[in-house]
Amino acid sequence: MTNKTVVITGANTGLGFECARALLNSDPAWHVVLAVRDTARGADAAAALGHPARTTVCELDLASLESVRRFTEELPRRDVHALVCNAGVQVVSGTPTTRDGYELTFGVNHLGHFALVRGLLDQLVAPARIVVVSSGTHDPARHTGMPAPRYTTAAQLSEPVSGGLTAEEGRRRYTTSKLCNVLFSYELDRRLDHGARGVTVNVFDPGMMPGSGLARDYPPVQRLAWRFVLPALRVLPGVRSTRRSGSDLAALIADPAFDGVTGAYFDGTRQTRSSADSYDDALAADLWQVSDRLVSAVR
């Protein structure tokens, strides 16, 4: 009998799919809502997971705040025990925006998830867990090879890039959005009284996962290397398969070892420190206030 519901964004492939697989295989009590932009691909993913009675596919386009609102209002299983904010994009060309006119990377990786969490908070059944997927690229001290994040103001980050993205700026927008993920998580934890309301909030760093879909906007040669060459580097520290990281992410959702743990950053299942900027309360407050205003403006 299923009695625990988890919503996973971007669950039709990669990390989200593997997290869903791990949860479904670990405990028959879990029901997984695959929150996906393409419901046909979501249906294929649900079939591949092999637990049709314990999976539901729902349309969710994080690039549309109206889609997020509709998802939160029409979610068929109203009591939610866990939420995984996993879906993400990395764009390295053009001037992409969300349907609401916001810069796409910020809009999908942060703002859409902000709206989703805000819309589902009243449906969370304590004890509940929220896990936000970030990335070690948010921390310049880790020397990941990605440009260091550049947080100016949330209002500026939400604006489309004048003249279009260069590859460098696109990657910087991605690392900055991953910093936003951490800032948002810590601020949400503060606003939920550090677990006193029965909801824990943690951040997950899956490590480098060659073969995942984040390189879809890269030039052809780089896409091929990401898909076929870099997976051979999994023997190196910090490089992981999507299946391993999916299992780690599922543990943060379901393992009793993490009961009551909140406001923490996890590299895999190891609790560690995030970047220096991620603990800046002023940045977190700016991000929250602007995000709340942007989300409220389209209601």
**Which residues participate in catalysis according to the annotation?**
174
- In 10 A of CB 168, how many CB atoms? 11
Strand partners for 80: 124
* Residue 136: both structure tokens together: 């070690």
- In 10 A of CB 219, how many CB atoms? 12
| 290 close to 158: Cβ distance less than 8 angstroms | yes
Sheet holding 55-59, edge to edge: 55-59, 30-36, 4-9, 80-85, 124-133, 199-205, 264-267, 270-272
Contacts for 113 with CB less than 8 Å, ≥ 6 apart: 9, 62, 85, 87, 132, 181, 184
Q: How far from the centroid of its chain's Cα atoms is residue 177's Cα?
A: 10
Angle at 189 between CA 62 and CA 146, to 5 degrees: 55
Peptide bond preceding 28 in cis form (omega within 30 of 0):
no
| 37 close to 64: Cβ distance less than 8 angstroms | no
